[in-house]
A and B are shown apart, each in its own frame.
Chain A
Amino acid sequence: MSDTVELLGLAAGFVAAGTAVGVVIGIPTRSEWLPTLLGVAPAVGIAVCGLAATLGAMVGLNVGLVTTAVLVIATVALGWGVARRRPAGVEALRAPRPSLPAVAIELAFAPLYAALAYGIVRLAAATPLDTWDGWAIWAPKAHALYAEGDVWGPVFREPTYAMQHQEYPVLLPSVDALAADAIGRFDANLVDIGQAMILLSFGLAAWALLRLVVAPPLAAAIGFALTGSTSLIANVDANYADTAVASFTAIGVLSLLLWLVRGPSTMLVLSALFLTTAALTKSEGLLFAVAAIVSAAVLARGFGRSLTAVGSFAAAVLALPIAWAIVDRLNGPGAKNVDVAILVHPSRFAAASDRIPTAASRLVEEIGQGWSLQLALVGLGIGAACLTREWWPALFVGVWGLLGLAALVTVYFLGTAPIDWHLGTSADRVVFSIVLAGATASPALVGLAWERIDEARARAPDR
C-alpha cells in the first residue's frame, strides 16, 4: 500500500472516532444535524486520538494505532454508558434549514475546500524538514514516540536532549507518531502531514459550528477563507506547532461562546476537548485555555450560565495539562524558559519592566500588519454585536483576546532569553491563536446581531 492510502486510512479513522464521540456527546444523527456531526468529526477525532495517544505515552503505554484505538473505543463505550441516560446536548441550538440557493452556495465551497485540502497536503508532503523548531523540537519527539512508544525514554529524560525542550507537551508529536505508525516508518518529509490534517479539520469544524448561528454560506466562506491563510499553511509546512495550537484554540473558543450564548452542554464538552488539546499542544495553548476559563467565569452570570458548569469545564480542561506537568517534573528539571521569580523581586521586576512595552507593541504590530483582514473581521463582529446590544458575547471575545495578549506579553516579560531575539524568533507565530480565534468567533457575533436586527424588523410597525 502506498503512503497516501495509509494516511487516508488514518484520516478515516480520525473521522470515525470523531463521529462516535460526537454522537456520544449529544450531536443528533438526524439529517439536518449531519453536516454538524460530520463537520466537527475530523477535529474531534484528531483531538480524541491525540489525547488518548498522549495519555498512553504518559502512563508508559506504546503510542501506536492499536493502543490508541483501544483507548478511544473504551472512552466511547464509557461515554455511551453515561450519555444514553441523559438528554441530547444540543437542545438549545437549531440546525439550519437553508433555502435552495443557500444550499447551492454552501455546496459550491465543498470542491473549493477539497482543492485547498489537496494542495495543502501535497505541499506538506513535499516540504523538506529544514526549519529550526521543526527538526530541532517537534520531529525528534515524534520520532522518539514512534520508536520507543512513551515519554520515559532518553529523548524525554536525558540532559543531552534538554535543548529539544523536553518540557513541551507531546500531543502534536503523538499525532505525528500515529501518522508514522500508519505508514510503517518515520519519514522526516511526511512528518508535517499531522499539522496539515489539524488545519484542515479546523476549517471544517469552524464551518460546521458557525452554520448553527450564521447563514450556512457565510459559515462555509469563513471556514474556507481562514483555512487558506498563507501564514497558517507556511507554519504547517515548517513543522511548527503554532497553526495546530491556533486551530484547536479557535474552535475551542467558538464552542465556548456558543455554550455561553445558547447553553447546549455539547458545546461546553466540545470546548473542553479542543482547549485541552490546545493546552497539550504547546504552552501558549494552556495560556489561551486559562484565558478562556477566566473569561467564561467572569462573564458566565451575564449569559445566565452557572459558575458550577464553568468550574467543571475548568477541571476538565486543566486535568491533563496538570498530569503532563507532573510527568515532566518526574522526567527531570527541564529548561528554564521563564523566570517567575522576577515577579517577587522588585529590583529585577523593575529591571525587566521595559520588556513589557517592547513585547506588547511588537505583538500588536504583528497582528496589525500580518492579519489586517482578520482584525477587521473581529472589529466588525464586535461592532455589530455592540450596535445590537449583544454586549456579553462582544465582551467575551474582547476579554478573551485581551487576556490572551496579556498572557503572551507576560511570557516575554518573564522570559530568560534576550527580548529582541525572543520576539524576533516567535512573535509572528504566537499571535496566530489570538487572531484565528477572534476571526472564527466574529461571525457568531454577526449572527447574533443579525438575529436582533431580524427581531427588530419583525416588531417594527408598517410604514
Chain B
Amino acid sequence: MSFLCVRPRLRRSIFSGLSLLFAAGLIATFYLPSATGADKLTIYSGRSERLIKPVLDAFTASTGIQIELLSSGTTELVNRLKAEGDRTSADLLITNDAGSLELARTAGLLRPLNMREIERAIPAQFRAPDNAWVGLSGRFWIVVYNTTLVKPDQVKSLLDLADPKWKDKIAIPNSGSEYLQAGVSVIRATHGDEKTRQFLQGLKTNAGGQVYQKSSQIVDAVAKGQVPLGIVNHYYVYRHLAAQPGAPVAVLMPDQQEGGMGAIMNVAGVGIVKTSKHLDSARLLVEFLVAQAGQKLFADLDKEYPLHPDVKADPALVERKSFRAAQVPLTKLAELREPTLTLIEQVGLR
C-alpha cells in the first residue's frame, strides 16, 4: 500500500525536477548570451560559412574576442537589419556583394568610419566614400568550362552564352544570387536594357533546368562533365582545383576582346552596424581584416584577389594585371539593383 502511495509522488517529483531543469535551460539559453558579451561580436554574414569562418577564427585566436556568426543570404540579412532597427544585436555586416553594402549604407544601417588603417590598406574605389563599408576581397564573375568539352576560344564574352548553340550547356546561379544581380547590373550599365534582356532570355533558354543555388555546385557539375559551361565567381573554380588537383575545369576571363566591357568585378566587404555596442572590438576586427595578415587569409584560404596593394594573390590565379575589369563603380551597383531585379523578373529567370 505504501509502495503505491510513494510512486506517484516520486513520479511527480521527477517530473517537476525535469521541468525545473528545462526552465533553467530555457533561461540560460535565451538570456545568458545577451548578458555576457563584453568581448563578443555578433556578425551577420552573407558569405558562405565555409569561406568566412576560418578568417574569423584566426581573429579570435589572436585577440580572444569571441564571435557569434549568423550565416544567411545577404539580401535577407539586410532586410533583417532594417526590420530590427535599433534593437539588432548585430555588430557587423559581412556580405558577398558591394551593392548590398551600399544599399545598407544608404538605408542608414552602417556607421561611417574614420580609420587611417582602412585608407592606407584599401584603395578608394573599393570602399564607400565615408568608409561605412570597406571592400575586403575582389572576385570576378567568370565563365568556368570543362576542358575536355569546350575550347577556350569558343567563348569571348558573357553575352556569347546566349547563343542558341549552347542550349542545355550552361549552368547558372538562381536569380536570388547577389552576384548574378550585380553582374546583370554591370551588363545593363554597359550595354543597355534591351541587349541585356536578349542576353538574359537566351541564357534562360540555354540553362533550362541547370539553375543552381550554390556556385560550388555549378563548378562541381562542370567538373563532372554534367554541363560544359557555367557562370560563377572565380574562386569557386580555384577552390575546387585546390581540393581536387587535375579536375578538368578552368577559368575563362570573359569580355577581354578589343572594345569589350572587361570582366565583371565585385567585392565582398564589411561594415560596422550603426547601433553596435562593441565599437572597439568591431574596429579591431575591421583593422584585422584589412591588414596584410588578414588580406593574406582571403588570398590563401578563399582564392580571392586581395584588395591590399601589397598582398599577392594566390599564384594559381590568373595574374590580376593581365586582364581588364569592367568600368562600373561599385557604389553604382546599389542604384542599379531595383531596375535589374525588375528586368530579371520580367524575363522570368528562376
A and B bind:
no
